[in-house]
A and B are shown apart, each in its own frame.
Chain A
Amino acid sequence: MSRAFLILAAVAGVLGAARPSARAEPRVATNTERVTALAADGASVWAATEGGLERYDRASGARLRLYTPLDGLDEASVLDVAVRDGAVEARTRRARCALDRARDAFVCAAAPEHAPPRPRVLGAFEGHRVSARLAIGEERYVGTAGGGLYREGAPPRRLTPEGQLCANHVVDVVPHDGRIYLGTFDDGLCVAEGGAFRRVPAPFRMVNDLVSTPAGLFVASSDGLYVTRDGRTFTRHRRLVRATTGLAFDGRSLWVSTTYSLHRLRVAGGPPPTDVLRPAGTTAIQDLALAPDGTVWLATEDRGAVRVRGDEITIFDRAAGLPSSWAIAVDVATDGTAYVGTLRHGLVAIAPDGSHHRVPLPDAWILGVRTEGDGGVLVGTQAGAFALASNGAAPATALGPLPDRRVHDVRRVDGALYLATEGGLTVVDAP
């Protein structure tokens, strides 16, 4: 058994731990440390969290159950919970969900948008902002934003399980040094390790891209470019200290984009470093990809897709006939076709000769694009994740289930499919 397989098996253990009944595949991991509301139901305490609805045993304090979209909720983020006449109702942003006790699952119905929470100051508990309180007789429960659920006492006891996914909003998944690293939107780096997820102490928070190289794991963050060789200590690049947005490794050089520049850095004996300032005049680069022939593709907010072939720079934007100049993601297939995801005008395929066409997808709001070795394309959108077959003839296949419909990265690692969403992570093992 390979080392990578062992690690994946460990991750699967964590993902499956939330459910009492062993369901083989797929598995959803979320973070429930941000509590939004509390309610009591006889022997149970219900905690609405941004990672699902939790049920705790009052007597032992153990978490009995985590309900996610796998259990009927329309999304993992639960804004409120109430128990009325024994009926448990969870409220998400756009649905009311009632617990069907017989199936131990929720049934949701559309509802008017939930009123946004009003600013309130409830103080702090164990260093975290208090977001909800519940008193049952002498028992006092405190829900926090970041620390999870506590039962007051001397000392207070944290009830929220350890080893959870570090943050719900995952933007990137990358295998490195036998482990799976997850980049998060604003909670830094997370690693699957020893049967649990662990937050990696790091000097950055907002991760934009990750790439694994023999010289270490590189992190493009809003605070600059970082590299770690041991997974514990990080070194920031001396020059690239501001928003780095995209990374690609060609085997010798690391390609890095900032919002306004493109850099080639020597990593493994590559050619001398080069810098391109404002390629094609852009100041808003979002993503970076490399074609097999070394061509660099940039996704930009203001110039669409930009192709850099040596000194030749070509712009593919609305003026050039693309549906939009706001590109958000790009990846290149082995045949040189660039797949460009636009903010809200769908996915566009650009052939090496510059001809282009729009690829039909159920949703036009693209968040992430990954090409696969067999010519297939995995796409994350605001309304789910989809797989496109290599020949492009078959309609897109929806992937899931998802803890949140907004999917930022879809990646296959050793056959297992990782779906990184704004509300948690789904792993679908290889058939």
Chain B
Amino acid sequence: MAVAGAANGAAAQGTLTASVEGGDPLRLPIVDERLEVRIDRQHATTLLRQSFQNEQGEPVEGLYRLALDEGSRVSGFAYYDGATRIVGEVFERDEAREVYEDVTGLGRDPGLLEQDGEGAFTFRVFPIAPGEPKRVEVTFGQLLAQRGRTVEYRVPLSGARSALRIDLREDRPIGAIRSSSHELHVERRGDRAATIELRAPKGDGREAVIAYEVSEPDFALHARVHRDPGQDPYVVLSMAAPASDDEAHVAKDVTLVLDRSGSMSGEPLAQAKRAAHDLVTRAREGDRLNIVIFDDGVESLYPAPRAVNARLRAEAHAYLDRVQEGGGTDIAGAIEHAVAAQHRDARPHLILFLTDGQSDPTAALAAAEGAGNARLYTIGLGPGVTRPLLSRLASAHRGTFTFIPNADALTDRMARLYDQLAEPVLVDLEVEGVSGARPYGRYPRTLPDLFRHDETRIAMRLLPGADRATVRLRGTHRGQPLERTVTVDVPSASDAPWIGRTWAAARIDELLEDIALHGETDERKDEVVELAIAYSIVTPYTSFLAIPESELTDTARESLARMREERQRILAANPDALALSRSAMPPGDPVLRVHAPADAVRVTAYFPFGLVKDLRFDTLDETWECRFLVPNDVADGEYRVRVVIETADGTIRVSEVPYTIDSEEADLDVVVEATPTGARIRVRTSDPARAVTIASVRDPRQRLDLRPGTDGTFEGFLPLAPGAHALRVVAADEARNESDRVVDVVVPR
């Protein structure tokens, strides 16, 4: 996972389209757009306010889409119902959707902002009355890229009338402030703060680009610290490659791997080829180059990278011209081929891997195992990309993952990436605590090399117990060791929550990667949900729900109250929340995990059935944990594990985690409808079910896992031959207690 990777392009784009019966969706015009930006030591928090106008003669349903660039995170959402501002709150996604569905259709719909693919967020709103301006507010944050001594902020605008105001604060002297897109009005407040306002656009006004210079020595290491009262501090370290570093070309091998699968057809493949042509043109004499093309098969220009010269360029351009769209996406095969095609020498080997698709993660990770010292740079194109896999592939091989939401930005971003990679400035980076408060929970786990125009960013936490911390970053610069240390004062509290959110987002990314790569488990999912709720982050498991109180049904009101109570519990408990791998279980062997400082003297769990266990710190998960068995004679009921945490400073905290022993089977209600080709089955259970399966009694290989519906039922269609059939329906609840029923069905001939 990256630490809020560099925001190289435009940060966010919001559009509202209206559904029109029998026609293409209409994009509603933006009649007002205002952006308020606060840049705090290179981190920008943007409040985007947009008003859309329904110019149709009838009420329409609107679909708001927000496309965010890599490194941007939604942290706030609201919309207006007339003059009333409805503020969104982050909840667990399924619960939020349940409330949303309960209220939908009763008049004014609530707002539900959900993640809809990589970097894309959607929000439905209904109704938008004729002539009604619909106001939407979204807050998102991003760590701005620093290139040399220039920090740049970019954001798309709807047009020339958009208003943008920036409150800029730095911990370094600010030099020139300029914009390539607009005239600026700048008001400085001392040498480290300024207010910036957009004036007339220099072009079409569709994008604002504001850059400012900072004054600092080469290889300056910065540490920004935040602490919530009573919690472990957060730190974001950063170091930019110096602007003044002379171009010292290092001969290297570059292998460009391009996806030409069916999903790339059309503009994406055309843009990818354009970017590849550009890269071939940019390739330097002295380097070696190869091109690998894949879909569900793999081919390459050469068996291994060859020296860049005029002939290679001609062959490469001709080869790229012949590339046409193909079939599926075998990422593993492509990586395996690219890795096997590397020369075995001491040159740097860079593999640039571009795809828009999804593939088997286990096989892909396995294929990359033989990469040796080759750096793997992955580029994900569009919302369908498997970010966890590409991110893990890059982070495991000292590369970076770049997400590009739209194909039209591809050539520019690829060129910029290639230019960066052309000049490694600091390689084999390591970070360590030298004295004072010790760091833990570092992201990324492995540090990529630092290239020209690039920046290294590291998020981590500090153990409590010291007022200062000294951290060292080491690497190799032109063959010589280079190290920088920075000492930070650890505050008792501070007001830069973006630092904590940066760490939480990196942790969430790692958990989502783990889920995508190793499967979803209750503890991984629960930790994502808890972190996302605690830090207001939209994830595949959490959404922003904005709902007018006046529209709440009794059921929705009860659900919302319960969700808010749970949210409060999480906010109060985080980050020292406890988690059981199974909260509802028959007697089994769950794992108890406790987030407590790594240097805690002791963490002891007292179980209600008499067991006392001392937890141990797991350096991989960075939690205290133990597994335990619940005796099989423990009665069903609600129980609590009490956990005593003895911290290094002598503080003793007692926490509790509830769990339920449940060995009762749920009741089943089965409805079977015979059709000429099989049976349609609908199952309702008395307790929430985790899975419902149906199988033919005569031939259990004829089986179907029913799909969960939105109302707690499960349903599906099992193809059957004409005649009489007995079907066994099995429902498993959250504790995996099973109940079954055999039903008969006659499929008509």
Tell me whether A and B are bound partners. yes
Q: Which residues of A contact B (CB under 8 A)?
A: 79, 93, 113-114, 116-119, 121, 124, 129, 131, 145-146, 185-186, 205-206, 222-223, 238-239, 241-242, 258-261, 273, 275, 277-278, 281, 283, 301-302, 314-321, 324-326, 343-344, 365, 382, 406, 422
Cα distance A205–B740 in the bound complex, in angstroms: 38
Cα distance A344–B588 in the bound complex, in angstroms: 10
22 contacts between A and B (CB under 8 A): A119-B604, A129-B602, A129-B604, A129-B614, A185-B627, A186-B626, A186-B627, A206-B627, A239-B362, A242-B514, A261-B362, A275-B363, A275-B366, A283-B521, A302-B732, A316-B700, A317-B730, A319-B729, A320-B695, A321-B700, A382-B632, A422-B629
A222: which B residues are within 8 A, CB to CB?
Answer: 591, 627
Cα distance A422–B611 in the bound complex, in angstroms: 12
Q: Do A281 and B730 touch (CB < 8 A)?
A: no
B57 contacts chain A at the CB level, 8 A cutoff: no
B365 contacts chain A at the CB level, 8 A cutoff: yes
A258: which B residues are within 8 A, CB to CB?
Answer: 518
Cα distance A317–B703 in the bound complex, in angstroms: 11
- 13 extra interface residue pairs, beta carbon distance < 8 Å, beyond A129-B614, A319-B700, A325-B732: A93-B610, A121-B652, A145-B612, A223-B618, A239-B369, A259-B519, A260-B518, A260-B519, A317-B730, A320-B695, A321-B728, A325-B736, A343-B586
Return the chain B residue nearest A321 by Cβ: B700
Task: Select A277's contact among B362, B604, B606, B626, beta carbons within 8 Å.
Answer: B362
A186: which B residues are within 8 A, CB to CB?
Answer: 626-627
Chain A nearest CB, measured from B335 CB (Å): 14
Q: Do A325 and B730 touch (CB < 8 A)?
A: yes
Indicate whether A324 sits within 8 Å of B705 (C-beta atoms), given known contacts A277-B360, A344-B586.
Answer: no
A318: which B residues are within 8 A, CB to CB?
Answer: 693, 728, 730, 738, 740
Return the chain B residue nearest A92 by Cβ: B610
B618: which A residues are within 8 A, CB to CB?
Answer: 223
B620 contacts chain A at the CB level, 8 A cutoff: yes
Cα distance A236–B727 in the bound complex, in angstroms: 46
Cα distance A205–B606 in the bound complex, in angstroms: 20
B609: which A residues are within 8 A, CB to CB?
Answer: 93, 113, 116
List which B598-631 residues lie within 8 A (CB) of chain A.
601-602, 604, 606-612, 614, 616, 618, 620, 626-627, 629
Cα distance A146–B615 in the bound complex, in angstroms: 12
Q: Do A319 and B627 touch (CB < 8 A)?
A: no
6 closest A-B pairs by beta carbon, nearest first, are: A320-B700, A260-B519, A319-B695, A319-B693, A319-B730, A318-B730
B520: which A residues are within 8 A, CB to CB?
Answer: 283
Chain B nearest CB, measured from A381 CB (Å): 10
Q: Do B519 and A324 touch (CB < 8 A)?
A: no
Cα distance A121–B646 in the bound complex, in angstroms: 8
Cα distance A116–B365 in the bound complex, in angstroms: 47
A145: which B residues are within 8 A, CB to CB?
Answer: 612, 614
Chain A nearest CB, measured from B235 CB (Å): 26
Q: Do A117 and B728 touch (CB < 8 A)?
A: no
Task: Select B632's contact among A185, A223, A301, A365, beta carbons within 8 Å.
Answer: A365
Chain A nearest CB, measured from B720 CB (Å): 15
Cα distance A328–B360 in the bound complex, in angstroms: 28
Chain A nearest CB, measured from B289 CB (Å): 29
Chain A nearest CB, measured from B194 CB (Å): 48
B519: which A residues are within 8 A, CB to CB?
Answer: 259-261, 278, 283
Chain B nearest CB, measured from A165 CB (Å): 18
List which B302-325 residues lie within 8 A (CB) of chain A.
none
Cα distance A283–B612 in the bound complex, in angstroms: 30
Q: Do B586 and A114 touch (CB < 8 A)?
A: no
Indicate whether A119 sits within 8 Å of B642 (C-beta atoms), given known contacts A114-B610, A321-B700, A324-B738.
Answer: yes
Q: Do A79 and B610 touch (CB < 8 A)?
A: yes
List which B199-228 residues lie within 8 A (CB) of chain A.
none
User: Which of A129, A315, A319: most chain B Cβ within 10 A?
Assistant: A319
Chain A nearest CB, measured from B644 CB (Å): 5
A273: which B residues are within 8 A, CB to CB?
Answer: 366
Question: Chain A: interface secondary structure?
Answer: loop
Chain A nearest CB, measured from B521 CB (Å): 7
B694 contacts chain A at the CB level, 8 A cutoff: yes
Task: Select A205's contact among B610, B616, B654, B730, beta carbons within 8 Å.
Answer: B616
A241: which B residues are within 8 A, CB to CB?
Answer: 620
Q: Do B612 and A325 touch (CB < 8 A)?
A: no
Q: Do A117 and B586 touch (CB < 8 A)?
A: no
B360: which A residues are within 8 A, CB to CB?
Answer: 277
B602: which A residues are within 8 A, CB to CB?
Answer: 124, 129
Chain B nearest CB, measured from A245 CB (Å): 11
Q: Do B654 and A315 touch (CB < 8 A)?
A: no
A324: which B residues are within 8 A, CB to CB?
Answer: 738
A320: which B residues are within 8 A, CB to CB?
Answer: 695, 700, 703
Cα distance A315–B695 in the bound complex, in angstroms: 11
B697 contacts chain A at the CB level, 8 A cutoff: yes
Chain B nearest CB, measured from A72 CB (Å): 21
A205: which B residues are within 8 A, CB to CB?
Answer: 616
Indicate whether A325 sits within 8 Å of B620 (C-beta atoms), given known contacts A114-B610, A119-B642, A121-B644.
Answer: no
Task: Select A302's contact among B588, B616, B626, B736, beta carbons within 8 Å.
Answer: B736
B627: which A residues are within 8 A, CB to CB?
Answer: 185-186, 206, 222
Chain A nearest CB, measured from B316 CB (Å): 33
Return the chain B residue nearest A301 by Cβ: B736
B691 contacts chain A at the CB level, 8 A cutoff: yes
B749 contacts chain A at the CB level, 8 A cutoff: no
B691: which A residues are within 8 A, CB to CB?
Answer: 302
B482-521 CB mask vs A (1 if < 8 Å, else 0) is: 0000000000000000000000000000000010001111
Return the chain A residue nearest B692 by Cβ: A319
B654: which A residues are within 8 A, CB to CB?
Answer: 119
Chain A nearest CB, measured from B187 CB (Å): 53
Q: Do B697 and A321 touch (CB < 8 A)?
A: yes
Task: Select B606's contact among A119, A242, A317, A343, beta carbons within 8 Å.
Answer: A119
Cα distance A259–B517 in the bound complex, in angstroms: 12
B189 contacts chain A at the CB level, 8 A cutoff: no
Return the chain A residue nearest B742 by Cβ: A321
Return the chain B residue nearest A318 by Cβ: B730
A317: which B residues are within 8 A, CB to CB?
Answer: 693, 730
Task: Select A319's contact among B607, B728, B736, beta carbons within 8 Å.
Answer: B728
Return the chain A residue nearest B621 by Cβ: A223
Chain A nearest CB, measured from B624 CB (Å): 12
Return the chain B residue nearest A277 by Cβ: B362
Chain A nearest CB, measured from B629 CB (Å): 7
Return the chain A residue nearest B618 by Cβ: A223
Chain B nearest CB, measured from A61 CB (Å): 25
Chain B nearest CB, measured from A342 CB (Å): 11
Chain B nearest CB, measured from A33 CB (Å): 12
Return the chain A residue nearest B694 by Cβ: A319
Cα distance A275–B518 in the bound complex, in angstroms: 13
Cα distance A316–B612 in the bound complex, in angstroms: 38
B344 contacts chain A at the CB level, 8 A cutoff: no
Chain B nearest CB, measured from A295 CB (Å): 16
B363: which A residues are within 8 A, CB to CB?
Answer: 275
Cα distance A93–B360 in the bound complex, in angstroms: 49
Chain A nearest CB, measured from B428 CB (Å): 20
Task: Select B369's contact among A114, A116, A117, A238, beta carbons within 8 Å.
Answer: A238
Return the chain A residue nearest B602 by Cβ: A129
B614: which A residues are within 8 A, CB to CB?
Answer: 129, 145-146
Return the chain B residue nearest A206 by Cβ: B627
B606: which A residues are within 8 A, CB to CB?
Answer: 116-119
Q: Do A117 and B610 touch (CB < 8 A)?
A: yes
B729: which A residues are within 8 A, CB to CB?
Answer: 319
List which B572-606 residues lie within 8 A (CB) of chain A.
586, 588, 591, 601-602, 604, 606
Chain A nearest CB, measured from B266 CB (Å): 31
Cα distance A64–B367 in the bound complex, in angstroms: 60
Chain A nearest CB, measured from B246 CB (Å): 38
A114: which B residues are within 8 A, CB to CB?
Answer: 610
Cα distance A258–B362 in the bound complex, in angstroms: 12
Q: Do B652 and A242 touch (CB < 8 A)?
A: no
Q: Do B607 and A119 touch (CB < 8 A)?
A: no
